[in-house]
Structure 1
Amino acid sequence: MSTRVNPIAQRSKKWLCDALIELLQEKPYSAITITEMCDKAGLVRKTFYRNFTSKESVLVEIIDLMFQDFFEYISDQNLGPHEMPLAYFTFWEKHNVFLHILIENQLFGLLNDQYVLYLEAMEHIIGTKHEYQSEIEKDYMRTMVAAGLWSILKKWIIRGCTESKEEMAKMTLDFFDIE
């Protein structure tokens, strides 16, 4: 059974996501209200609550959409493990303004929470050179890798992306001992 996507709901979600991003460039997250987001998007609060449960759920949607873009990008490129870190830093560099906003508003942890989910979803692309004893061991490994990638990305963004994407990719390959 296929799930139909309501184009009006999708458009409303996009408008609310765009509104939150615009507002985050003007003021802190804590100062933004749902009413403000709705006004900026040209929608009523009822529409907001049909699509989201909170401001945080809008941020998670934005992050999910970015991860979906990344997933499509690496799928289209047919990248192997050696090319993946460069694709990773190239992708996130394009979103560094948004990442800075997350850091400034102490919301960067949301990105890490989503990493674990997306690493699991991308496993067939990323691959693994290690055989795991159990699903629990595999889950802990994904958690560790997600936290490592999240921390490296955060440090790079805070430092103003002063190291090149290529330097970051090489360091990442070295850190994760990818031969």
Structure 2
Amino acid sequence: MTTSVNPIAIRSKKWICDAFLELLQEKPYNNITITEICDKADLVRKTFYRHFNSKESVLVAVIDSMFEDFYNYIQTQNFGPDQMPLAYFTYWEKHKNFLSILIENQQFSLLNDQFVIYLEAMAHIVGSKRAYQSELEKEYMRTMLAGGLWSILKKWMTRDCSESPEEMARMTLNFFDIKK
């Protein structure tokens, strides 16, 4: 059985995400209401709640969409583990306005929560030089890696991306002891 994708639902979700991102550029996260998002998207609240249960879930949807873009990009380029840091920092440099909004609104931690999931999905690309004792050990390793990448990204953002993506990739490869 195949499930069909409802183009109206996809469009509504996109409008809600776009409206919320526009509002985030105008005012703080905590001051934005669901009603304002719906008004900006020109949709009713019922449509919002059909797709999302909170403002946070909208941000997660935006982050997920960004991950899909990143994932598709690295898939088409056939990047290996040693090329991932450069792809990572190059990608996020292009989206630093979004990251700044997350930081300013104390929502940057959502990115870390999603990174763990994304690293699991990219396990075949990221790879590992070592064998793990168990699935639990793998899970902890992904959590550590996600937290490290998230922290490095946040520090880089607070420094206004002063270092180039190439310099950040070089440092990251050294930190994680990945030799080129």
Into which bin does the TM-score normalised by the smaller protein fall? over 0.9
- 1:117 and 2:117 equivalent? yes
Alignment of 1:80-95 (within 5 A): 80-95=80-95
Q: State the 4+ residue runs in structure 1 displaced beyond 6 angstroms.
A: none
**Deviations, residues 96-152 of structure 1 (Å, cap 9, x unaligned):** 000000000000000000000000000011111110000000000000000000000
Tell me what 1:38 maps to: 38
Cα drift, residue 2 of structure 1:
2.3
Distance 1:58 1:106 in 2: 15
**Deviations, residues 63-109 of structure 1 (Å, cap 9, x unaligned):** 00001111001001000111110000000111100000000000000
Instruction: Report sequence identity in percent.
Output: 73
Distance 2:4 2:30 in 1: 35
Alignment of 1:13-28 (within 5 A): 13-28=13-28
Two-structure CA RMSD over aligned residues (Å) = 0.6
Tell me what 1:146 maps to: 146
**Which consecutive residues of structure 2, in runs of 5 or more, have no partner in the other structure?**
none
Tell me what 1:55 maps to: 55
Tell me what 2:158 maps to: 158
Distance 2:8 2:147 in 1: 36
Secondary structure of the 2:120 match is helix
**Which consecutive residues of structure 1, in runs of 5 or more, have no partner in the other structure?**
none
Tell me what 1:2 maps to: 2
TM-score normalized with structure 1 length = 0.99
Distance 2:3 2:75 in 1: 23
